[in-house]
Amino acid sequence: MHLAYPAVLSALLFCTGLYGVLARRNAILVLMSVELMLNAVNLNLVAFDVWLSRAAEETLHSGQALTLFTIAIAAAEIGIGLAIVLAVHRNRGTADIDKLRDTAEGHDPDTSDDDARTAPQAAESGRTGKAEATA
């Protein structure tokens, strides 16, 4: 198989992921797009490893080893990411990235409209979230 096919595929995957990261508003979808980008890189690693090891007399397949590594780390990362999103959703009642602007310059955490408006809602969703988690 020619190297161009996996390379083009991974480029497409990467661009799709990039578009998702930049354009999606739901944090879960953003995380999924990040996964797409990671996997595009994985695909590249494997393809180039195969292509390079074909010419070499001896090889350690370090590209493939690195891919396994990346998959393991990506699993851990997505676990933490999803946990954060879950916690944010419980507190704020939303996972919309456009509404999570606490780090903006000039943002006053005390008079935050998000906080004020969503506090009871968040508490409620927190309870339901906990209930779901325990159930």
Distance of CA 82 to the CA centre of its chain: 8
Residue nearer to another protein on the CB measure, 26 or 64: 26
Among 84, 90, 83, residue whose Cα is nearest residue 119: 90
Q: Where are the alpha helices (DSSP H) in 56-112?
A: 62-92
**Beta bridge mates, 96:** 26
Decide: is 21 part of the binding site for another protein (CB under 8 A).
Answer: yes
One character per residue 81-100, x = contact with another protein (rule: CB under 8 A): ----------------xx-x
One character per residue 24-63, x = contact with another protein (rule: CB under 8 A): ----------------------------------------
Q: How far apart are CA 75 and CA 96, in angstroms?
A: 23
Span interacting with another protein, options 42-50, 54-62, 66-74, 104-112, rule CB under 8 A: 104-112
Residue 114 beta carbon to another protein: minimum distance, rounded to whole angstroms: 11
CB neighbours of residue 122 within 10 Å: 20
Query: Which residues of the chain form contacts with another protein (CB under 8 A)?
Result: 18, 21-23, 97-98, 100-107
